[in-house]
Amino acid sequence: MKAYDLLFDQALTRVDAERIHHAAFRAIRAAEPVTSRLIGAPRTGLVEAMGLAFPHPLGLAAGFDKNAVGIDGLAALGFGHVEIGTVTGEAQPGNPQPRLFRLKADRAIVNRMGFNNDGAEVVARRLAGWRAQGGSTLLGVNIGKTKVVPEEEAVRDYEKSAGLLAPHADYLVVNVSSPNTPGLRDLQAVEKLEPLLAAVRRRAEEASPERRVPLLVKIAPDLSDDDVLAVADLALASGLDGIIATNTTISRAGLASPEDAVEAIGAGGLSGRPLTQRSEDVVRLMRGRVGPDLTLVGVGGITTVDDARRRLAAGANLLQAYTAFVYEGPLWPRRIVRGLTLPQARDV
């Protein structure tokens, strides 16, 4: 058993998951001057995607750093890119606590955070300061809908965030797939998604006229195969730069955790190992539809080197993770990236 496993099982799991997240994130930020020298992930060779050069495929998914307060500390652990957010047009506290839960038997997390964040204006100022100080980590900015904004005004809300944040982002992600904002997933329907993406694209181009900011959409694993293909077709028709597949799931099928414990946790998005197969299948389905050129970011249930290889073989250009980072610890990103450099590496 690794030292981190012992710490996680015997100590960290005895404390509320959200409290531990904030404490761990403070430690990551404080340790950045040391970790940037001692840990830094090896390169697998540059990955060219969306006109950007990524040092390797593995990045940190949105949700860990919602407010752009620890980008460099996370990159120092070995992530080749960091996606912040989800950021909404207006600041909001998110859902009532407790709202973050572990399912240890499944190496999974359930969250119903509800897009708690400082809002687009504050995050934009923070990113401007970070860039001014030389921040160079490849940065994705994930934007979503403010909870109190009605669906008929969602486009305006996304436009606000895009206008403020696009100038500071290496790429921009429209999140319409979190299960924790009422009505958000309805925006995945093609007839609603198409005008939303077009509006965000226009606003991003207005806000960053000297540089085209790549635009992606993040989809749920719970879409039917037909709906996955419809989004793929829309991505091609509308000139999207990529698709992130997938977000968390509302399904609880096939879990090893006791049913009563799962029911006691209640609603929320499930992430981690239970998503591995479905997320891989969605990437494979997408790649078969969109052809070789559109960027696909594979996320959901990537824990081992073999998981990472399989997702790349399914058609992903880039990978992201979150839950495995929580369960496996701060050296995990480096282990995965090193494993990808060795064709016959022993799985981890």
Q: Is 292 part of a structural domain of the chain?
A: yes
pLDDT at 245: 98
User: 293 in a domain, yes or no?
Assistant: yes
Please report the pLDDT score of residue 346 as a whole number.
47
List the catalytic residue out of 136, 161, 177, 178. 178
In a domain, 346, yes or no: no
Helix orientation angle between 154-165 and 120-132, rounded to the nearest 10 degrees? 20
**What's the pLDDT at 38?**
74
Q: What is the pLDDT of residue 342?
A: 79
Residue 312 belongs to a domain: yes
> How many CA atoms does the CB half-sphere of 314 hold within 13 Å?
26
CA–CA separation, 127 vs 141, rounded Å? 10
Of 61, 81, 207, 63, the C-alpha closest to 135 is: 81
Instruction: Please confirm whether the linkage preceding 150 is cis (ω < 30° from 0).
Output: no
- Total number of domains in the chain: 1
Tell whether 117 is in a known binding site.
Answer: no
pLDDT recorded at residue 107:
97
Say whether 95 counts as a known binding-site residue: no
Tokens at residue 155, please?
């486009």
Instruction: Note the pLDDT of residue 344.
Output: 54
* Residue 247 in marked binding region: yes
In a domain, 105, yes or no: yes
Is there a domain that residue 133 lies in?
yes
Q: How many CB atoms lie within 10 A of CB 317?
A: 21
Query: Which residue in the block uniquely carries the two structure tokens 């701060």?
Result: 330
User: Is 256 among the annotated ligand-binding positions?
Assistant: no
177 is catalytic: no
Contact 96, 17 (CB under 8 A): no
* Residue ranges in the chain whose pLDDT is less than 70: 1, 8, 10-12, 39-44, 343-348
281 is annotated as contributing to ligand binding: no
Structural domain includes residue 347: no
Q: Give the domain CATH number at 268.
A: 3.20.20.70
Confidence (pLDDT) at 176:
95
Range of the domain at 142: 3-341
Determine, yes or no, domain membership for 348: no
